[in-house]
């Protein structure tokens, strides 16, 4: 059953209009029926919330899982959110938010009631006893508390963090943590843990894209709380590995996991700031704690039987989040990069890549390797080739998950940028790898491997990653230049990409980046080096291949195949300045190296 889109903006311009519809008589009637009204609304909100959780990965089914609410009832609920009665306002707000999560066309509800949610949070803080009594009276689940409702609004509204930052709401959240957190409390309850995890999650949203907000968060009261949370979680994990488990230990771990996950959400948000990577992260022991969590999780399967399945999955999700945080901490200008034990980290990553059944963890692990290899990190590179080895990266290039493929080719790309001879090393390593892979024939070399994936690519990001590998391969030894030029199918594929869009749904900026990459490949293939043209060409024996050792012959071949005309045509009236410049240079080098005019 389908419900027509509700034009709330047309009927109710803002919350002021809703509040203006109230009268003293109406509020008195609401107050008289508040308990019954709140009971039914909270029950309905709980059903909706449970449906949202169940159908999180089956959105198509969720459209039919709940009877649609009429437009008149939605208008009534919006009016009830402005009721002076706290529980009625809370219950109505909960129903609207949970229902709007199922109906994408109703996301404009967020703008109308977010101030109501903020008011609910303020009123909760003013009377905590009353708040707890309401929770007990109506048996309200934790995921319907005002802080949790705000998190749900943040998940569906990209603009809400901006509005909260305009209200300096970071200070409000810091005040909640500072006021309600008792550092001497050794046994934090599930309710308090949930509340603080929601506070941290809200901070993570507010700092996600705002550098000023990141700075304020890094200087606020949440930091000592995050540090202590990570420390406690590490101690709990270490008890599992030493056999010190008790009957209720998994419940303690569940609470700790929830807080630690939210803490890491904040760390991931802050780790996206270049300034904080140089300062903030070097001032705390975060790296040490994060590595301890990873150490435990490499052997997580050993303890599966002693976990409730839910807790096991939560800990696995935490592992992936920790890896994502570390992937930001290993980039070139991070001050924490030097604090890492590279050998230890790579052994942990290798264990994840060998045994991990979840794609998200593989993606996060590969992200660390890709980021750490960027910027000529020679220590990490040498240890990587020794511990993880290229075979795994070649294998992941063939993975069914496109994101894993993209990361794998970008890892190869970063390896190819460090040294003039890296292309030849990877070329030789692939020759060893392909022996055990039936899909690759004897004459499949690394260039053909790149061509096969380029031809099969349905993703502009994957195509771009492969093209960058070809750029760096073409910029290395003459042997590698010849390997590219002797692959006629590859050259044909590049020419098609140069003259036609990659895919109908690809955005123009990505298309132009691919075309610019191809212009770079031509530049590198026709670049004349002082010693290059005297190279003997150890891989090749036939006359045609040996001729390609000469830059003039390489340029002549590219012109004959149509690259000169294609670049010239595409550059005319081109809106992309980067492509125009690269195309001009490629055309110039082809002409000059052949002696043409």
Question: Quick one: average pLDDT of 192-213?
Answer: 95
CA distance 244 to 241: 8
| Residue 31 pLDDT | 65
Q: What is the pLDDT of residue 1?
A: 35
Confidence band for 60, pLDDT divided at 50, 70 and 90:
very low
**pLDDT level of residue 91 (50, 70, 90 thresholds):** very high
Q: pLDDT over 90 for what percent of the chain?
A: 55
pLDDT band at 301; cut points 50, 70, 90: low
pLDDT, average across residues 364-391: 92
CA 197 to mean position of chain CA atoms = 20
State the average pLDDT over residues 499-521: 83
Task: For residues 12-21, give the mean pLDDT.
Answer: 46
In 374-420, where does DSSP find H-type helix? 378-387, 390-397, 402-416
What is the average per-residue pLDDT within 271-279?
A: 89
- pLDDT-derived band at 71 (thresholds 50, 70, 90) equals confident
Cα–Cα distance, 196 to 201 (Å, whole number): 9
Q: What is the pLDDT of residue 29?
A: 62
pLDDT score of 274 more than 80: yes
Query: 258: how many CB neighbours lie within 10 A of its CB?
Result: 20
pLDDT of res. 3: 39
At residue 182, the pLDDT reads 77
Q: Is residue 65 over pLDDT 70?
A: no
The SS3 of residue 348 is helix
Nearest one of 410, 420, 320 to 372, comparing CA atoms: 410
Low-confidence winner among 135-144, 158-167, 245-254, 317-326 (lowest mean pLDDT): 245-254
Locate 417 and state its tokens.
């940028």
**CB-based contacts of 573-582 (< 8 A; 24+ apart in sequence):** 574/512, 575/512, 576/509, 576/512, 576/515, 576/516, 578/512, 578/516, 579/512, 579/515, 579/516, 579/519, 582/516, 582/519, 582/520, 582/523
Closest by CA to 405, choosing from 374, 448, 368, 362, is 362
* Rounded CA separation 121/46 (Å): 19
596 or 90, greater pLDDT: 90
Between CA 468 and CA 372 the distance in angstroms is 18
CA 130, 136, 141, 142 torsion-angle sign? positive
Tokens of 525: 């293939």
Q: Is the pLDDT of residue 597 over 90?
A: no
Confidence at residue 205, expressed as pLDDT on a 0 to 100 scale = 97
The string of pLDDT tens digits covering residues 26-57 is 565 666 578 889 999 999 999 998 887 765 54
- Provide the pLDDT confidence category of residue 515 given band limits of 50, 70 and 90: very high
pLDDT band per the 50, 70, 90 thresholds, residue 20: very low
User: What value does the mean pLDDT take over residues 63-80?
Assistant: 77
Helix (H, G, I), strand (E, B) or coil at 329: helix
Q: Is the pLDDT of residue 532 over 60?
A: no
| Residue whose C-alpha is closest to residue 315's, from 302, 330, 328, 329 | 302
pLDDT tens for each residue of 433-487: 998 888 887 778 999 999 999 999 999 999 999 999 999 999 988 989 999 999 9
Please give the mean pLDDT across all residues of the chain: 85
Tokens of 597: 């005019």
The two tokens of residue 98 are 């949970």
pLDDT at 168 over 60: yes
Give the distance from CA 468 to its chain's centroid: 22
98 and 151 Cβ atoms separated by less than 8 Å: no
Fold for domain 445-597?
Answer: 1.25.10
The C-alpha atoms of residue 537 and residue 248 are separated, in whole angstroms, by: 69
Mean pLDDT, range 499-511, rounded to an integer: 72
Give the C-alpha separation, 534 to 114, whole Å: 71
pLDDT at position 444 is 87
Give the range among 169-173, 295-299, 527-531 with minimum mean pLDDT. 527-531
Q: Is 60 exceeded by the pLDDT of residue 210?
A: yes
pLDDT of residue 11: 44
Q: Can you give the pLDDT at residue 42?
A: 96
The token duo for 374 is 């960027």
- Domain spans, the chain: 1-137, 158-300, 445-597
DSSP 33-85: THHHHHHHHHHHHHHHHHHHHHTTT-HHHHTTTSPPPPHHHHHHHHHHTT-SS
Whole-prediction pTM? 0.88
pLDDT value at position 437?
83
Number of neighbours of residue 173 by Cβ within 10 angstroms: 25
Residue position matching structure tokens 């949440």: 222
Considering only residues 204 and 439, tell me which one the structure prediction assigns the higher pLDDT: 204
Measured distance CA(494)–CA(467) in Å, rounded: 9
**Mapped to the 3 state alphabet, what secondary structure does 417-429 carry?**
CCCCCHHHHHHHH
C-alpha 427/C-alpha 24 separation (Å) is 80
Distance of alpha carbon 370 from alpha carbon 331, whole angstroms: 9
Work out the percent of the chain whose per-residue pLDDT is above 70: 83
| More confident site: 333 or 154 | 154
**pLDDT tier at 15 (50, 70, 90 boundaries)?**
very low
51-62 burial: b if 16+ Cβ within 10 Å, else e: bbeebeeeeeeb
Positive or negative CA dihedral for 306, 310, 314, 316? positive
Q: Is 368 in contact with 323 (CB distance < 8 Å)? A: yes
Q: Which of 303-307, 386-390, 428-432, 542-546 has the lowest mean pLDDT?
A: 303-307
Going by pLDDT thresholds of 50, 70 and 90, the confidence category of residue 64 is very low
The whole-number pLDDT of residue 170 equals 96
Q: Greatest CA separation found in the chain?
A: 98
Cα 273 to Cα 265: distance, rounded to the nearest angstrom: 14
Decide which of 409 and 501 is more confident: 409
Degrees, nearest 5: CA angle 446-448-451:
115
Q: What is the spatial distance between Cα 521 and Cα 491, in angstroms, rounded to a whole number?
A: 11
- Between 436 and 512, residue with greater pLDDT: 512
């Amino acid at each position: 059953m389908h419900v027509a889109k509700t034009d709330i903006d047309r009927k109710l311009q803002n919350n002021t209009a809703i509040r203006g519809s109230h009268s003293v008589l109406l509020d008195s009637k609401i107050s008289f029926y508040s308990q019954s009204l709140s009971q039914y609304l909270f029950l309905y909100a709980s059903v909706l919330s449970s449906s949202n959780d169940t159908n999180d990965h089956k959105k198509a089914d969720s459209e039919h899982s709940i009877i649609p609410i009429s437009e008149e009832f939605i208008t009534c609920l919006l009016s009830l959110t402005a009721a002076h009665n706290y529980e009625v306002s809370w219950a109505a707000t909960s129903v609207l938010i949970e229902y709007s999560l199922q109906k994408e066309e109703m996301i404009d509800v967020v703008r109308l009631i977010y101030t109501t949610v903020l008011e609910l949070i303020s009123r909760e803080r003013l009377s905590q006893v009353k708040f707890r009594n309401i929770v007990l009276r109506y048996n309200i689940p934790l995921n319907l508390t005002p802080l949790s409702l705000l998190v749900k609004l943040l998940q569906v509204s990209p603009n809400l963090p901006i509005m909260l930052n305009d209200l300096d709401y970071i200070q409000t959240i810091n005040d909640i943590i500072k006021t309600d957190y008792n550092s001497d409390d050794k046994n934090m309850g599930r309710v308090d843990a949930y509340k603080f995890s929601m506070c941290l999650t809200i901070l993570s949203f507010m700092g996600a894209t705002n550098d000023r907000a990141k700075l304020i968060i890094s200087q606020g009261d949440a930091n000592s709380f995050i540090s202590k949370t990570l420390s406690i979680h590490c101690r709990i994990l270490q008890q599992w590995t030493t056999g010190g488990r008790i009957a209720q230990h998994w419940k303690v771990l569940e609470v700790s996991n929830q807080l630690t996950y939210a803490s890491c959400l904040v760390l991931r948000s802050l780790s996206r700031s270049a300034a904080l990577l140089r300062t903030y992260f070097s001032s705390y022991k975060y790296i040490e704690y994060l590595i301890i969590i990873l150490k435990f999780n490499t052997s997580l399967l050993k303890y599966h039987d002693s976990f409730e399945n839910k807790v096991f999955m939560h800990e696995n999700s935490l592992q992936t989040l920790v890896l994502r945080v570390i992937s930001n901490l290993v980039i070139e200008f991070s001050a924490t990069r030097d604090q890492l034990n590279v050998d230890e980290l790579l052994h942990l990553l290798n264990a994840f890549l060998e045994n991990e059944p979840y794609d998200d963890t593989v993606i996060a692990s590969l992200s660390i390797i890709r980021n750490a290899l960027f910027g000529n990190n020679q220590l990490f590179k040498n240890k990587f080739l020794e511990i993880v080895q290229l075979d795994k990266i070649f294998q992941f290039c063939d993975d069914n998950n496109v994101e894993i493929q993209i990361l794998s080719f970008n890892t190869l790309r970063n390896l190819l940028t460090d040294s003039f001879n890296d292309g030849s090393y990877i070329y030789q390593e692939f020759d060893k790898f392909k022996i055990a892979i039936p899909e690759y024939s004897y004459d499949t070399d690394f260039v053909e491997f790149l061509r096969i994936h380029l031809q099969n690519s349905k993703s502009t990001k994957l195509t771009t990653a492969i093209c960058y590998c070809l750029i760096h391969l073409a910029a290395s030894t003459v042997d590698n230049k010849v390997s590219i030029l002797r692959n006629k199918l590859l050259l044909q594929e590049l020419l098609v990409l140069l003259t036609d869009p990659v895919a109908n749904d690809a955005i123009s900026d990505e298309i132009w980046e691919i075309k610019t990459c191809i212009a770079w490949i031509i530049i590198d293939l026709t670049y004349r080096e002082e010693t290059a043209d005297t190279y003997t060409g150890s891989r090749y024996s036939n006359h045609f291949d040996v001729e390609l050792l000469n830059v003039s012959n390489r340029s002549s071949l590219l012109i004959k195949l149509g690259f000169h005309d294609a670049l010239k045509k595409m550059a005319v009236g081109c809106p992309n300045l980067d492509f125009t410049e690269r195309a001009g240079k490629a055309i110039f080098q082809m002409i000059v190296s052949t002696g043409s005019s």
